[in-house]
Amino acid sequence: MFSKSCEYGLRATIFIGQQSHLGTKVSLTTISEAIDSPQAFTAKILQQLTKNNIVNSIKGPHGGFFIETEAMKTLNLSAIVEVLDGDSIYTGCGLGLKQCNDKKPCPLHFKFVAIREELKNMLQNTTLLMLVNDMELDIFHLKT
């Protein structure tokens, strides 16, 4: 469904959000251990997320990654996915045709678009804050 980059990026963002909610910034090492991801690769992903203002970062001692609580209210998963995987998941044809639209549809088009839209809506309607709040229930996990 999503690329590895996107999977790690989503997990990392949720973890950063969770910790920021508790008032603490987190370092790359802490993140990659918390979400069980390859550290150097995760660094690259965090660079992209930082560049695209999904997360904030501060260099130097006591630096690290964080997200403002206010930003968590409006940040939805769709924004993260779009940064890391582009919008092909929202616009791409299920059968790989170059164009996907109602005018010249593939035989799976209408059935496929219905599900694609649900996925899109789910990602757009799910904010980081929702997931961070859910995480407080101690039911959900970010590794294995």
Partner DNA sequence: ATAATAAAAGATATCATTGTCTTTTATGTT
Partner DNA sequence: AACATAAAAGACAATGATATCTTTTATTAT
Positions touching its own copies (CB under 8 A) are: 1-2, 4, 7-8, 10-11, 14, 77, 89, 92, 94-99, 104-109, 111-112, 114-115, 118-119, 122, 126, 131, 134-135, 139-144
By CB under 6 A, name the binding residues for ligand FES: 93-95, 97, 100, 105-106, 108-109, 112-113
Q: How far is the CB of 57 from DNA (least distance, A)?
A: 4
Local structure of residue 132 (DSSP, 8 states): H
Q: CA 17, CA 107: separation in Å to the nearest integer? A: 41
* C-alpha dist (Å) from residue 83 to 61, 80, 101, 109: 28, 5, 23, 25
Among residues 10, 14, 15, 65, the one that binds DNA under rule CB under 7 A: 65
Listed in sequence order, the DSSP H helices in 22-108 are 28-35, 39-51, 69-74, 77-85, 88-91
Tokens representing 17 are: 């959000």
Query: Torsion angle of alpha carbons 11, 137, 69, 40, nearest 10°?
Result: -20
57 vs 133 by CB, closer to ligand FES: 133
Under rule CB under 7 A, residue 63 binds DNA: yes
Among residues 61, 104, 114, 138, the one that binds DNA under rule CB under 7 A: 61
Q: How far is the CB of 80 from its own copies (least distance, A)?
A: 11
State whether residue 57 is helix, strand or coil. Answer: strand
Q: How far is the CB of 142 from its own copies (least distance, A)?
A: 7
